[in-house]
Amino acid sequence: MAEDLLHKKQFPPYSPKKGEEYMNARQLDHFRSILKALKDELQDDIERTVHTMQDEATNFADPNDRASQESDIALELRNRDRERRLIKKVDESVARIETKDYGYCDNCGVEIGLKRLEARPTATLCIDCKELEERRERQIAK
């Protein structure tokens, strides 16, 4: 979902210069722009949904139509809740940029990597720590 929103804006991938320091000011500005665009797009979607739900609030006489409408509304609300949580992650990522913690793994402290951050700008774990976390989750779920 986040990736789809970013592709609407067509952010070019960041291409570091040779010998460039990781998470320098240019890189931080690049990711700050991506995060801001993502947040703006999510907020627009939330507002659009609220207006649509208000406009389409109809009291159908047919119970099947009413059930279908309620099901659609429940699905939309679930999606908006997911987006609300993503906005919170975006805000946390922007705060990490301000404190110069952005781009480093929360678990081990290594660089997350530009390509991973391009794909998932709210990432807080390097790929190794994320894979380990997902394996643990799968083992617990079984």
Predicted confidence band of residue 46 (pLDDT cuts 50, 70, 90): confident
pTM, entire model: 0.80
Arithmetic mean of pLDDT, 48-65: 74
Tokens of 33: 């722009």
Domains of the chain (ranges; CATH) run 2-7+21-104 (1.20.120.910)
Predicted confidence band of residue 1 (pLDDT cuts 50, 70, 90): very low
Cα(130)–Cα(18) distance, integer angstroms: 28
| pLDDT over 50 at 22, yes or no | yes
Handedness of CA 119, 120, 125, 128 (dihedral sign): negative
Calculate the average pLDDT of the chain: 87
- For residues 108-131, one letter each, b for 16 or more C-beta atoms within 10 angstroms of the residue's C-beta and e for the rest, the string is eeeebebebbbebbbbbbbeebbe
